[in-house]
Structure 1
């Protein structure tokens, strides 16, 4: 289920441009395509999906398949609310697979059948590693957020492989991308299934790294102590899940969340508060079972309040960084934050 919602295209682009650039897309190409965009949902000339899909097609025609995959990721952004955006995601996956032979690391795509509600649910994953032999390495399971998915996380995954000497299993968390399971109170069942699969893939040690809402899930893994290390990059945990914060969310984030939670029309505030209730981690934060954790966010995040980062200060085995002069997930300083995370993983998983 999904729905379209009012959002200013220029404002949305302005907020996410640093993220798109830091993923690897040339700023000049992005800006040139965006100069023609007037509507997020139209697939006609001047529509977000059409203009960024055309950019992606130009990259594909030039044999630049990785750039094409990234551009299709912009085209399908921020939600799969119509057929054109769903098609853009399909083309993103296709172009990413075509680009794989050029990656500086080994790549494999699998569809895992994860135990779920008495049966199984399929979860496509991308596995990156220094070589096809992974049995001697720890595995990091990695997901993005409500609108940033596994292909978009490629540069981070490669940095982890190359710096931390780990394998990475990238996935779309429940409610997003290619993962069929919804984002609800059973989401951690999917995460636990992925952790179990990752333990079989490598040397038995598993870390969980998450970006944005994915960091709510990685933070939960860390607080529960079900992994050997956990990274929370910009995760909402408690204080962000209030009516006041949701009422003031900017750049369409309230409805991006509504789509991920499975609504088929703009939900009421009360409906959203019920949907986020399973992700309030107050109970986990009151416990003392956590594994080593790294918690990072930008000090100027307009989506996730500072308290959801600072609440981790003073916990044992926990390192906290609130990065100045940057916003959600420190997107404008992502290269230095990725380096910080990779070095931290290496130190914890030697």
Structure 2
């Protein structure tokens, strides 16, 4: 079973990224006492009960968010499997109200990848943005961004890392090849020669490795990505939160005691990072308890064209989600070029949020 205190701690970044305010999820978390497989007072039961209430109230997107949290961090039994099924079904109900959003199921070498897409059009192929989350987030968590991408004139494809959610590809040493497989599959319906990856957390590592061999990837925007030290520093690994280690072991088909040895060969070396010829933008959390500081330092020192945004926060920077959302989208627009008016508007809003957060910090210090 998962450590409930740890789950409550790490779920905060994901609740905030989906627009849930603390007054909504704090009472729910207070009701959770254990991690039994859907039994009363359990993680899955309490999140699922609230999800069902929202579904009955005609709020499918909110229901999907809560079912997503019910299956967090990964499916380990019947109750979480049911929560994942209901999460995707509720999201599909919501997406049915937006004809631009489509479901796309792809059979790639090694397994099936299910996606949510927008703007795929053989008559007018658009530049493509591929978005992926990390080891504990499913595509439905990020797919609402497709509506914004459509308004900007991008084709969008949102999916999961191998082994996460509905993605049945193996999380092995070739997992990064998924990105090239996705581009091959939508070739002709998107301008894949102008592809940008918005790859969060652990999928950022896969996207950077994919970019080394696939020239169609013209830029990578990430946040909290493991690169080198995470995979090689045994002392750091001993302090990694249990939920992260357990999830990696689940994805890799290994055990918590053996998974880091299995993953050691996947580190991106300094020479590989230096070989990147594309722009890279990355959000770093200065108090990240999962990703060691040396990985962000490698980006700064080795990648030729890199922009870094630093937040004084833990992994995922939950206190700065609004800033991160604006900055990552702005970074994609910078990489692509054009969009002058949108870039100016996003830059102004980002500066406003940045100033407001620093002002609050100064006030707290004076108090």
Which TM class, normalised by the smaller chain length? 0.7 to 0.9
1:58 and 2:18 correspond: no
Q: 1:186 aligns with which of 163, 174, 184?
A: 174
Q: Which structure carries more relative contact order (alpha carbon 8 Å, separation 6+)?
A: 1
Q: 2:191 aligns with which of 193, 203, 211?
A: 203
- What runs of 5+ residues in structure 2 fail to find an aligned partner? 338-367
Root-mean-square deviation (CA, aligned residues, Å) is 2.2
Residue aligned with 1:201, SS: coil
Instruction: Show the counterpart of 1:341.
Output: 328
Task: For 1:70 and 1:96, locate their aligned partners in 2 and report how far apart those are by CA, in whole Å.
Answer: 8
Instruction: Show the counterpart of 1:240.
Output: 230
Residue aligned with 1:328, SS: coil
Matched ranges for 1:60-139 at <5 A: 60-103=55-98, 106-116=100-110, 121-129=111-119, 135-139=124-128
Residue aligned with 1:249, SS: coil
Offset, 1:97: 0.3
Task: For 1:284 and 1:313, locate their aligned partners in 2 and report how far apart those are by CA, in whole Å.
Answer: 13
Q: Tell me if the contact between 2:6 and 2:243 (Cα under 8 Å) persists in the aligned partners.
A: no
Offset, 1:32: 2.0
Offset, 1:285: 2.9
| 1:179-233 CA distance string (max 9 Å, x none) | 1111111212222201323443312321112111111112223444531111121
Task: For 1:201 and 1:236, locate their aligned partners in 2 and report how far apart those are by CA, in whole Å.
Answer: 32
Offset, 1:161: 4.4
Task: For 1:190 and 1:33, locate their aligned partners in 2 and report how far apart those are by CA, in whole Å.
Answer: 37
Q: Tell me if the contact between 2:204 and 2:222 (Cα under 8 Å) persists in the aligned partners.
A: yes
Instruction: Show the counterpart of 2:160.
Output: 172
1:40 and 2:31 correspond: no
Change (3 A) 1:155 1:298: farther
Q: Tell me if the contact between 1:300 and 1:327 (Cα under 8 Å) persists in the aligned partners.
A: yes
User: How many pairs does the alignment contain?
Assistant: 333
Offset, 1:284: 5.5
Please list every run of at least 4 consecutive aligned residues from structure 1 whose deviation after the TM superposition is greater than 4 angstroms. Answer: 131-134, 155-162
1:304 and 2:291 correspond: yes
Q: Tell me if the contact between 2:228 and 2:269 (Cα under 8 Å) persists in the aligned partners.
A: yes
1:328 and 2:315 correspond: yes
Residue aligned with 1:257, SS: helix
Task: For 1:296 and 1:91, locate their aligned partners in 2 and report how far apart those are by CA, in whole Å.
Answer: 32
Report which of the two has the higher share of helix.
2
Q: Tell me if the contact between 1:76 and 1:85 (Cα under 8 Å) persists in the aligned partners.
A: yes
Residue aligned with 1:174, SS: coil
Change (3 A) 1:348 1:254: same
| 1:268-307 CA distance string (max 9 Å, x none) | 2xx2123212421116535423311112221111100122
Task: For 1:182 and 1:283, locate their aligned partners in 2 and report how far apart those are by CA, in whole Å.
Answer: 26
Offset, 1:174: 0.8
Matched ranges for 1:190-269 at <5 A: 190-204=178-192, 205-224=194-213, 226=215, 227-241=217-231, 242-263=233-254, 266-268=255-257
Q: 2:136 aligns with which of 124, 127, 147?
A: 147
1:22 and 2:12 correspond: no
Task: For 1:154 and 1:259, locate their aligned partners in 2 and report how far apart those are by CA, in whole Å.
Answer: 24
- What runs of 5+ residues in structure 1 fail to find an aligned partner? none
Bigger CA radius of gyration:
2
TM-score, normalising length: structure 1: 0.88
Residue aligned with 1:252, SS: helix
